[in-house]
Chains A and B, each alone.
Chain A
Amino acid sequence: MSAILVYVETKDDQPKKASLEALGAASRLGGDVVALLYGRHARAAAAKLTGSGAAKALAVEDAQRTHFSPEAVVAALAAAAATLAPRAIFFAATSQGRDLAPRLAEKLGCAQASDCTELRSSGDGKVEARRPVLAGKAYTWIRAKNSTLVATLRPNVFAEAKSGGAPAVESMPAPAADLKSIVKEIVASASGKLDVSEAPVVVSGGRGLKEASNWKVLEDLAAAFGGRAALGASRAVVDAGWRPHAEQVGQTGKTVAPQLYFAVGISGAIQHLAGMRTAKTIVAINKDPEAPIFKVADYGIVGDALEVVPALTAAIKKAIG
């Protein structure tokens, strides 16, 4: 069985969690897993892949290029794919993965499955992927006819491997590439907090919170999780200017799949569900017992958010504190 190549994103010298999940998913499918890391800290980050499921790590340390360029990474991945002839190439479905994967798929003439939520290996060793379509209203299973399958994997859905040894780290020269797009700068958001698409716990609020200043109660609930929670929002409150668009969850916002999702004062419109229905556990707090959100929630409390949430925050602090 041929290998699975996984592009591992790094932040400074740390491999990103969503990429570790992709390595975990690849290792469970069987066969060799080869990680490719790109950038100034590629080797240092590769040294942190012990127990990630990767048997080998290709570190492309590119000292000349100070700015990130998608074409450069795609060229390196294409070169690695040419020698490995992998059965699949995985990316995390992050802003980087969403950009790189289709470029590579097109360059290699491959099929791509985007934002996959389940994977399996067929009898003949082909990787098959299940992915949502129509904003999660339906799913398809797809695979490639003859080519490698390129796939992006939804963050927080797949478990990390967390076992096994250290990969053999090899340096790989950066292949020549026609760089057309250069990332000039990355402006970190003022908060510097965990992004809603990456957080294991998401506390989302909607119009039921009544006004922007009431977000204090949601901030307190998020804080009870000690840095593991991020704030989310419905489109109604983003449109009202209460919250920034970066926090919007749903079809025209971000897709999240946290371990725990709180929907507070959110009715549960189909477009909102599109962004959060694959969360592992959903808690809804809404004063209307008929609100559609209760149909997808695992647990619901009917009540006024401004009364229930502070009590919940106190109880959670006590439980995990």
Chain B
Amino acid sequence: MKIAVCMKRVPATDTKVKPGAGRPWIDSTGVEYVLNPYDEFAIEEALRLKEARGGAGEVVVVCVGSADAQKELRTALAMGADRAILLEDAQAELRDAQEIAGALAAAVQELGSELVLLGKTGVDRDQSQTGQRVATRLGWGCAIECAKIAIDGSAIRAEREIEGGREVLELSLPAVLSCEKGLNEPRYAGLKGIMAAKKKPLETKAPQYAAAQVEVLSFEMPPERSGGRIVGSGVDAVAELVRLLQQEAKVL
């Protein structure tokens, strides 16, 4: 089975951000970028699926990103992916899910893979759209936020957590599955993997974007919460807290 894993380069979650000049997104200077954490689950799952089939098939990582995203693609190769495709665009960070899904769907079609894995969301734009859009574009089945995936022949059983329970979805290949934390424990790339990754093929192509309908009007930092009021210390402060919750916040 040829498995395509879509992955993204994103700002690390604990980096401080500030608005960029002349663009409705962050100023990327000094920002640390990493492989999107949810995509790590997708890569790990793809590697396990391949291993469970005696190593038959291929895991190809695909990324819409700037030239810098080669670093994250190499990380994926070091984990064990066989080869990488960078759909290169210096402005990739500004692209909407609709455009990216078009580019990824085209790349997947060209690859001729029948299974696409990716993270449930990118922790940059937090849109949670790409997997569903790629599947819809390709006319494939789709299961999102998978916490468990079982593939038997072409039959897929995917489980996810929903409000107050767990949902079991059945679909079949070809399919797009988005991955949630808890699906697996992603492996670390060891030294051997890192060395091997240097020799693995990384191909660069132009993304075939779909047209975007989105118009970004502004990018702004949230107002600081005015909070920070310490009501008091210990048990003695409880009465005053309850009074404030009742009379000021009116939430009791």
Residues of A within 8 A of B (CB): 70, 94-96, 98-99, 101-103, 105-107, 109-112, 114-115, 128, 131-147, 178, 180-189, 192-195, 197-198, 245-246, 251-252, 259-260, 270-271, 274, 277, 280-283, 289, 294-304, 307-308, 311-312, 315-316, 319-320
A-side contacts of B163, CB under 8 Å = 94-95, 195, 197-198
CB pair A114 B128 closer than 8 Å: yes
Interface residue stretch chosen among B52-60, B63-71, B110-118, B119-127:
B119-127
**A102-B132, A251-B123, A301-B234 given; A142·B216 CB < 8 A:** yes
B166 touches A138 (CB 8 A): no
Contact with A along B192-218 (1 / 0, CB 8 A): 000000000000000000001111111
* Chain B residue contacts of A147, Cβ below 8 A: 213
- Complex CA gap A298/B241 in Å reads 10
Check if B252 is an interface residue, CB within 8 A of chain A: yes
Residue of B nearest to A132 (CB): B126
Judge whether B132 and A270 touch: CB under 8 Å. Answer: no
A189 to B165, CA, bound (A): 4
* CB neighbours of A193 from chain B (8 A): 164
Q: Is the interface of B mostly helix, strand, loop or mixed?
A: mixed
Q: Which of B144, B242, B252 is close to A99, meaning CB atoms less than 8 Å apart?
A: B144
Contacts of B128 in A (CB 8 A): 98, 102, 114-115
Known A112-B97, A259-B251, A316-B242; judge A135-B233 contact (CB<8 A). no
Q: Which residue of B lies closest to A198 (CB)?
A: B163
| A184 and B168 contacting across the interface, CB-CB below 8 Å | yes
**A contact patch SS:** mixed
- Of A98, A192, A259, A282, chain B has the most CB atoms within 10 Å of the CB of A98
B143 and A181: CB pair below 8 A?
yes
Is B190 located at the chain interface by the 8 A CB criterion? no
B: contact size bracket: 35 or more
Q: Is B2 an interface residue (CB 8 A)?
A: no
Complex Cα–Cα for A284 and B213 (A):
42
Contact B229 A308 (CB under 8 A): no
> Do residues B219 and A299 form an inter-chain contact, with CB atoms below 8 A?
no
Contact of A270 among B13, B140, B222 (CB under 8 A): B13
Taking a contact as CB atoms under 8 Å apart, the answer to whether A138 and B19 are in contact is yes
From B101, B242, B249, A315 is in contact (CB under 8 Å) with: B242
List 11 A-B residue pairs with CB atoms under 8 Å apart, sorted by A's residue number. A103-B136, A138-B222, A141-B216, A142-B215, A145-B215, A180-B140, A188-B164, A277-B225, A301-B230, A315-B241, A319-B252
Whether, in the assembled complex, B96 has its beta carbon less than 8 Å from a beta carbon of chain A, the answer is yes
Whether the Cβ atoms of A141 and B217 lie closer than 8 Å is yes
Interface pair A298/B227, CB less than 8 Å apart: yes
Say yes or no for B76: interface residue by CB 8 A criterion: no
Given the complex, which residues of A lie within 8 Å of B227, measured CB to CB?
282, 294-299
Contacts of A112 in B (CB 8 A): 97-98, 127, 129, 214
Which residue from chain B places its CB closest to the CB of A99 in the assembled complex?
B144
In the complex, A283 Cα to B248 Cα: how many Å? 13
A106-B222 in contact (CB<8A): no
CB atoms of A107 and B136 under 8 A apart:
yes
- What 10 A-B pairs are tightest by C-beta distance, nearest first? A180-B141, A102-B132, A111-B213, A102-B129, A195-B163, A111-B214, A106-B136, A95-B162, A303-B234, A106-B133
Does residue B228 face the partner (Cβ distance < 8 Å to A)?
yes
Interface contact A251-B168, CB-CB below 8 Å: no
Are B165 and A188 in touch, CB under 8 angstroms? yes
Bound Cα distance from A180 to B218, whole angstroms: 38
- Please give, as numbers and ranges, the residues of chain B lying within 8 Å of A245 by CB-CB distance: 161, 181-182
Collect the chain B residues with CB atoms within 8 Å of residue A106's CB. 98, 101, 132-133, 136-137
Instruction: Evaluate contact between B125 and A181: CB separation under 8 angstroms.
Output: no
Q: By the criterion CB–CB under 8 Å, are A187 and B132 in contact?
A: no
Q: Which of A142, A192, A295, A319 contacts B246 (CB 8 A)?
A: A319
CA distance A314 to B144 in the complex (A): 42
Q: Is the CB of B166 within 8 A of A189?
A: yes
B37, B127, B225, B232: the one contacting A252 at CB < 8 Å is: B37
Closest chain-A Cβ to B239's Cβ sits at a distance in Å of 6
Chain B residues contacting A183 (CB-CB under 8 Å) are 167-169
